[in-house]
Amino acid sequence: MSRIGKKPVEIPAGVTITVSADNTITVKGPKGSLHQEVDRDITVEITASQIEFKRPTDQIRHRAMHGLYRSLVSNMVKGVTEGYKRNLELVGVGFKAVNTGNTLDLALGYSHNIVFEVPSEMKVTTLTEKGQNPKIFLEGIDKQLIGQVAAKLRSLRKPEPYKGKGVKYAGEILRRKAGKSAGK
């Protein structure tokens, strides 16, 4: 049996979980609500303080779905209580990030600025301090959406291995290469 799938998900105070007839799980909490469809073979059992997932057989497909849906619902519970944050850093001369609402205006060394529209479910802020790299802060309740938007922003200018210029995650360690030798 899946080690992750058989662990129950604890339901904190202030969070309500409901399962509809079409196997859609809805998690509501202080920060918002999230929905997730669950495969019809996986059964969901809700008690007063926890939620458990059961699978009918040991088929590879059922084992895969068992741990997957447990992890997704666990992330949803954490999202509606605490939320998720992702920080990005712009490394490079002249790189800038400015936001107005959920619209990011990025200057990443191209001939034109990139205007990036962040989904309305998320909150985005930017910070530019003298002597430090500009930073972008993403906050929201959906872990998948935060990761997807952060990956899309990073893909606009990936960090290069020689000087490290580009958009990188805060705290990301880059593998650096040595440049050409100066002579013989």
For every one of its 184 residues, what pLDDT tens digit does the chain have, with 9 covering 90 and above? 458 888 999 999 999 999 998 889 999 999 999 999 999 999 999 988 999 999 999 999 999 999 999 999 999 999 999 999 999 999 999 999 999 999 999 999 999 999 999 999 999 999 999 999 999 999 999 999 999 999 999 999 999 999 999 999 999 999 999 888 765 5
Domain count, the chain: 2
Q: Structure pTM?
A: 0.89
User: Tens of pLDDT along 27-69?
Assistant: 999 999 999 999 999 999 998 899 999 999 999 999 999 999 9
Q: What Å distances lie between residue 177 and 109, 162, 167, 180, 184, CA to CA? A: 21, 5, 18, 10, 19
Q: What span, in angstroms and rounded, lies between the C-alpha atoms of 134 and 114?
A: 15
Residues 120 and 152 in one domain: yes
Q: What span, in angstroms and rounded, lies between the C-alpha atoms of 103 and 84?
A: 19
CB 77 within 8 A of CB 9: yes
Task: Using the 3D structure, point to which of 35, 60, 81 is the last residue of a domain.
Answer: 81
Could you list the residue range(s) of the whole structural domain that residue 125 is in? 84-169
Q: Mean of the per-residue pLDDT values for the chain?
A: 92
Residues 120 and 67 in one domain: no
Gyration radius of the chain's alpha carbons: 21
